[in-house]
């Protein structure tokens, strides 16, 4: 489906500020995240770490993907406790046709979507907009009691980490180069956005003259994707260091483990016998021994130029599409089995690079970032391996969505506190010493032994085969089981709910901000009733041109009123009454 038929159309800064003010005053929510799910740091436990030398208040954040693409995505993750944001990967080809549906989280995780859905200039605007929103919310008085703990500690420092791909020609071209320069100095972008703060009015107008940081990001994670030759990886990394003076992380693929090892773990050890691992992908990808050489070479190259270097584990795994839910082949596996692969790869790399990696027991200078099947249950063990940070995607696409972040951080805080520590650095050393006492070379080696041994159940097919619950009912435009799943599993915050009016079925009514819906299919996977909520629930538009360009039901709204619609008279009347209710339309 092309950008003409299912685009993401970012909301303006003034609209987002209006949404925040309206939702907070009427519902004690921001972008549908309840105040109870806003992360508040523990006064006795410091979860801070250094990301390539930059202070960061928590070691968790969204991975480059659907949760770090729009400004409201990033704000939601920040409210949940994320402080490291690996921004959605930007590439020169920004008008791709991405088939729909493109996400399948029914059990573990698959997708066919691998690039940004905005133009490169739009991506720059969204990331700058997000940075400005975070700075404003940090200063916004209504949030003060939710962001500060009893000791007076506030939200702490955060880091935006750029991500680009996928070849040297695209990255060195003018379009991507302008993006990188704009992230390093966003003066012009901020100046263009600033008038919208006053335009939004309300309590944010007082922040219109805030001295916003113009330095959005100066680190970058290189997404090499699959089949990128080592010479290309080397050339791109050196270009980014030399041309843009960046600290660079190179994302590696699970194929480094080799076909036999990966197929053996996924199909045999973990029981996913229906997963068809693509053998050709291993032949096309970077090989292990060359990977070891490349890490050492690029780390030395960076050091000689006063820059830092890191690796990220891992990209998704290429598999054959035998499920049929998504239309394209291949598809990319994530979630629980990828966690086992990535952890195993880290253990192999640690063995092959003694003293080189920045993990306990090695204490080298190659930072290790991690993103593979992170959950509340395994976050403490993953952080104990020494990774900085652990970023999340698949788990945020499950019911609860961004609201799953704060419980993750609470679980990590509890693990640190229960071991008698007050900060991550000392806790990691304690865990490393305990692993050595237990006969393991590193905490990573112990974690791998556990998840491929006694703790395998959480990663095995048997522990990940339960399907989302279903009810024997066809979904209707109004009235449903009101499970709220469509709101929380949508990565783009495209759904909202409004309390039902007298005479309506169900506690809540659900509506879609059509311009934020990219028809990824995730709400359809989790909806207990039969049907696609993104197509069936009332679709709201604020842009007449988009409203007129699309087919199917829809409601063009302005100032909280329906001014045009493709629907029957009764539906138009009901949507109008919902938007006019006390909680009403946050866009109004």
- For residue 226, what pLDDT band results from cuts at 50, 70 and 90? confident
The CA distance from 206 to 185, in Å, is: 24
**Minimum mean pLDDT range among 100-114, 186-200, 380-394, 510-524:** 100-114
Q: Are 48 and 58 in contact (CB under 8 A)?
A: yes
Among 32, 103, 20, 115, which residue's Cα sits nearest to residue 69?
A: 115
pLDDT at 480: 95
pLDDT average, residue stretch 258-281:
96
Q: Are 511 and 490 in contact (CB under 8 A)?
A: no
Helices 405-418, 71-80: inter-axial angle, 10-degree rounding: 30
- For residue 150, what pLDDT band results from cuts at 50, 70 and 90? confident
pLDDT at 428: 97
Identify the sign of the CA torsion 300, 306, 310, 315. Answer: negative
- Residues 433-485: tens digit of each pLDDT: 999 999 999 999 999 999 999 999 999 999 999 999 999 999 999 999 999 99
- For residue 151, what pLDDT band results from cuts at 50, 70 and 90? confident
C-alpha separations of 87 from 55, 84, 565 in Å: 18, 9, 36
Q: β-strand 110-111 against 103-104: which pairing, if any?
A: antiparallel
Which of 506 and 386 is assigned the larger pLDDT? 386
C-alpha separations of 493 from 10, 33, 229, 284, 446 in Å: 11, 9, 37, 37, 38
Is residue 212 scored above 60 in pLDDT?
yes
- For residue 584, what pLDDT band results from cuts at 50, 70 and 90? confident
Is residue 491 scored above 90 in pLDDT?
yes
pLDDT average, residue stretch 485-510:
94
Q: Is the peptide bond before 389 cis (omega within 30 degrees of 0)?
A: yes
Average pLDDT, rounded, for the chain: 95
pLDDT at 2: 34
Computed over its alpha carbons, how large is the radius of gyration of the chain?
23
Strand residues in 16-135 grouped as ranges (E): 29-30, 33-34, 49-51, 54-56, 60-62, 84-86, 103-104, 110-111
pLDDT at 585: 81
pLDDT at 1: 33
Is residue 180 scored above 80 in pLDDT?
yes
Is residue 542 scored above 80 in pLDDT?
yes
Q: Are 408 and 60 in contact (CB under 8 A)?
A: yes
Q: Is the peptide bond before 211 cis (omega within 30 degrees of 0)?
A: no
- For residue 6, what pLDDT band results from cuts at 50, 70 and 90? low
pLDDT average, residue stretch 10-24:
96
Phi, psi of 147 (to 5 degrees): -95, -20
The C-alpha torsion from 405 through 27 and 483 to 111, rounded to 10°, is -40
């Amino acid at each position: 489906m092309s950008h003409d038929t299912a685009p993401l159309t970012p909301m303006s800064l003034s609209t987002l500020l209006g949404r925040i003010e309206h939702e907070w005053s009427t519902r004690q929510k921001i972008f549908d995240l309840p105040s109870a799910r806003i992360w508040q740091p523990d006064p006795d436990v410091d979860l801070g770490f250094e990301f390539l030398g930059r202070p960061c208040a928590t070691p968790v954040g969204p991975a480059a993907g659907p949760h770090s693409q729009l400004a409201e995505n990033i704000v939601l993750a920040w409210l949940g406790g994320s402080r490291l944001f690996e921004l959605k990967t930007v590439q020169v080809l920004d008008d791709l046709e991405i088939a729909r549906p493109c996400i399948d989280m029914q059990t573990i995780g698959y997708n066919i979507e691998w690039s940004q859905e905005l133009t490169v200039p739009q991506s720059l605007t969204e990331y700058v907009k997000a940075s400005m929103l975070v700075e404003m919310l940090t200063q916004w008085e209504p949030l003060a009691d939710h962001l500060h703990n009893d000791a007076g500690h506030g939200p702490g420092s955060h880091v935006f980490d750029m991500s680009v791909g996928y070849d040297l020609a695209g990255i060195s071209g003018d379009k991507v180069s302008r993006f990188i320069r704009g992230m390093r100095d966003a003066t012009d972008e901020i100046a263009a956005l600033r008038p919208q703060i006053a335009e939004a009015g309300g309590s944010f107008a007082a922040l219109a003259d805030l001295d916003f940081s113009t330095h959005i990001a100066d680190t970058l994670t290189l997404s090499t994707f699959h089949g990128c030759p080592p010479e290309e990886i080397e050339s791109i990394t050196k270009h980014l260091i030399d041309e843009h003076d960046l600290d660079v992380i190179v994302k590696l693929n699970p194929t480094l483990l080799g076909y036999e090892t990966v197929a053996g773990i996924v199909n045999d050890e973990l029981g996913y016998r229906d997963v068809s691992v693509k053998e050709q992908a291993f032949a096309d990808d970077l090989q292990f021994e060359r990977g070891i050489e490349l890490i050492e070479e690029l780390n030395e190259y960076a050091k000689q130029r006063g820059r830092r270097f890191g690796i990220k584990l891992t990209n998704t795994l290429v598999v054959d599409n035998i499920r049929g839910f998504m239309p394209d082949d291949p598809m990319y596996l994530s979630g629980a089995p990828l966690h086992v692969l990535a952890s195993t790869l880290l253990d192999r790399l640690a063995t092959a690079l003694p003293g080189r990696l920045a993990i306990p027991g090695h204490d080298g200078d190659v930072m290790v970032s991690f993103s593979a099947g992170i959950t509340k249950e395994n976050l403490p063990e993953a952080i104990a391996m020494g990774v900085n940070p652990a970023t999340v995607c698949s788990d945020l696409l499950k019911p609860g969505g961004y609201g799953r972040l704060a419980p993750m951080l609470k679980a990590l805080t509890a693990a640190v506190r229960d071991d008698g520590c007050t900060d991550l650095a000392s806790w990691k050393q304690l865990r490393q010493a305990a692993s050595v006492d237990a006969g393991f070379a590193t905490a990573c080696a112990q974690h791998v032994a556990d998840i491929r041994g006694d703790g395998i159940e959480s990663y095995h097919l048997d522990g990940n085969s339960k399907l989302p619950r279903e009810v024997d009912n066809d979904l209707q435009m109004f009235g449903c089981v009101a499970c709220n799943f469509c709101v929380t599993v949508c990565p783009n915050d495209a759904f909202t709910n409004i309390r039902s009016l007298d005479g309506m079925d169900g506690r809540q009514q659900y509506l879609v901000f059509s311009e934020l819906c990219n028809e990824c299919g995730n709400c359809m996977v989790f909806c207990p009733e039969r049907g696609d909520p993104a197509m069936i629930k009332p679709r709201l538009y604020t842009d007449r041109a988009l409203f007129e360009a699309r087919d199917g039901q829809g409601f063009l709204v302005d100032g909280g009123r329906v001014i045009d619609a493709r629907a029957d008279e009764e539906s138009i009347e009901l949507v109008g009454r919902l938007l006019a209710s006390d909680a009403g339309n946050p866009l109004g």
